[in-house]
Structure 1
Amino acid sequence: MKVEIWSDYQCPFCYIGKRRFEEALKQFENKAQVEVSFRSFELNPEAERDINMSQNEMLAKKYGMSHADVEANNQNLTQQAKELGLEYHLDKVVLTNSFDAHRLMHFAESKGKENEMNELLFKAYFTEGKHIGDHAILVNLAEEAGLDKFEVEAMLGGTTFTAEVRGDEQEGSQLGITGVPFFVINRKYGISGAQSAEAFLDTLKKIWAEENPLQMVNDPATGDACTDGSCNVPEK
């Protein structure tokens, strides 16, 4: 089973959805047969790298929300995150362009460090209030994930993995993805939003059963067996 997760590192529900899916996967009987990969989606591809505005100010301006409404929204998200063991500091996040962070994720994937890099990027943004558009910070995070500092600096200084990011975004558009997180299973089933761990687990079980039906190798009516609390004893 292949699960592809479209997300953006500046999306609070993407980090929450990622963790809920991971909780579901831990409980899934066939988790060893599940391949998970992350795909790029930019919520604001036109954003500047350096933005002189807080997230609270941005939300109030973009959605016409009052300061109290923004705080209430932040508290709700923070509580949802806390229930999953995540620590959100939404008043400290640094708005930026996430494109280079996505390029770094693809570089990490090429080195077998995709999972580590994804976790560190989300944590840096929502917990540590780091500027994930800043190359120096991205290099430090990459080193923490076990990647080579000089290779990462060279990658970020050029245009490598631009095609991979754009390719993910194009594929997502073709699949009809307009918001994240979005989970695609076997390129056949789609799950939108940060569903509960229980919902993810139920979906995994259902899809596994549909994709892997039991194949009988003999007629169930033949062979000795016990049914309905009784056994047919063969005559000698």
Structure 2
Amino acid sequence: MSEKKLKIVVFSDYICPFCYIGFYRVEQLKENYDLDVDWKPFEIHPETPKEGTDLNNLPFPKEYLELMKENIKKLADDVGITFKLTDKLSNSRMALFFSEFARKNGKFDEFHKLVFDSYWKDGQDIGDKTLLFSLAESLGFKRKEILEYIDSEEPLKELKKSLKELRKYGINGVPTFIIGEKIVVGAQPYEVFEEVIDKVLEEDLVL
């Protein structure tokens, strides 16, 4: 275990399978490094209707989707998780709003994991407010307080701020990991993160 606490900023969206893998990759890293992880919201498909959409309607060749699924399975096996790949793409905006509420009330990590697992392990629609309220209430939050926050302008401001921050680095994809002054894009193997983190710690580039 490293003696230095290292800050990692992660830009992520719940509907991104590689972000889910990235989440568990970070959990692996925590076993060997003292990390301060700051998850930032990013909406990769803002055009998705509130009720979600069928993945088969997306403008991708079938061969591409099959190849992506194979890649996802390989990466998931590497971090020891099982995916439940569904044909429905949820609208993630409300889940991102709820997570910001959880952040401001000290339970971001718990809610963050619940949303990820609900979508990728249980195959549930995280665009459904009923589900999100249920997850939030399981952590002790009151519906009235949640509504006051998600109906305000604040969560959208946070989302736009995060998008602007990521694009400052010239990047439009997630997951993106800012480690010290170095950047890792994508759900990379553990060894890639290990090499970057060790180098950052050695060079004392911790933020």
Q: Shorter chain as normaliser: what TM range?
A: 0.7 to 0.9
Structure 2 distance, partners of 1:212, 1:197, is 20
Residue 22 of structure 1: aligned partner:
27
Q: 5 Å matches for 1:46-61? A: 46-53=47-54, 55=55, 57-58=56-57, 61=58
Structure 1 distance, partners of 2:131, 2:146, is 11
Taking a change above 3 Å as real, the CA distance of residues 93 and 125 of structure 1, as seen in their structure-2 partners, is: farther
Structure 1 distance, partners of 2:110, 2:88, is 21
Residue 74 of structure 1: aligned partner:
69
1:154 has 2:148 as partner: yes
Indicate the SS of the match to 2:26: helix
Q: 5 Å matches for 1:61-140? A: 61-66=58-63, 70-71=65-66, 73-90=68-85, 92=86, 94-140=88-134
Q: Decide whether the 8 Å contact of 1:139 with 1:153 is kept in 2.
A: no
For structure 1, the residue ranges without an aligned partner over 5 or more in a row are 214-236
Indicate the SS of the match to 2:109: helix
Q: 5 Å matches for 1:158-177? A: 158-177=152-171
Residue 195 of structure 2: aligned partner:
202
Indicate the SS of the match to 1:63: coil
Q: Decide whether the 8 Å contact of 2:97 with 2:155 is kept in 1.
A: yes
Q: Decide whether the 8 Å contact of 2:99 with 2:111 is kept in 1.
A: yes
Which of 185, 189, 193 is the matching residue for 1:192? 185
Indicate the SS of the match to 2:183: strand
Q: 5 Å matches for 1:203-222? A: 203-211=196-204
Moved over 3 A (4+): 69-73, 156-160
Structure 1 distance, partners of 2:145, 2:92, is 20
Residue 41 of structure 1: aligned partner:
42
Structure 1 distance, partners of 2:121, 2:147, is 24
RMSD value, Cα: 2.2
Percent identity over paired residues:
30
For structure 2, the residue ranges without an aligned partner over 5 or more in a row are 1-5
Structure 1 distance, partners of 2:138, 2:77, is 24
Residue identity matched to 1:18: F
Which of 153, 174, 183 is the matching residue for 1:180? 174
Structure 1 distance, partners of 2:52, 2:157, is 25
More moved, 4-13 vs 155-164: 155-164
Structure 2 distance, partners of 1:132, 1:159, is 21
Q: Decide whether the 8 Å contact of 1:50 with 1:95 is kept in 2.
A: no
Structure 2 distance, partners of 1:162, 1:44, is 15
- Residue-by-residue CA offset, 1:195-230 (whole Å, 9 max, x unaligned): 1122212211110110179xxxxxxxxxxxxxxxxx
Structure 2 distance, partners of 1:40, 1:5, is 9
Q: Alignment length, in residue pairs?
A: 201
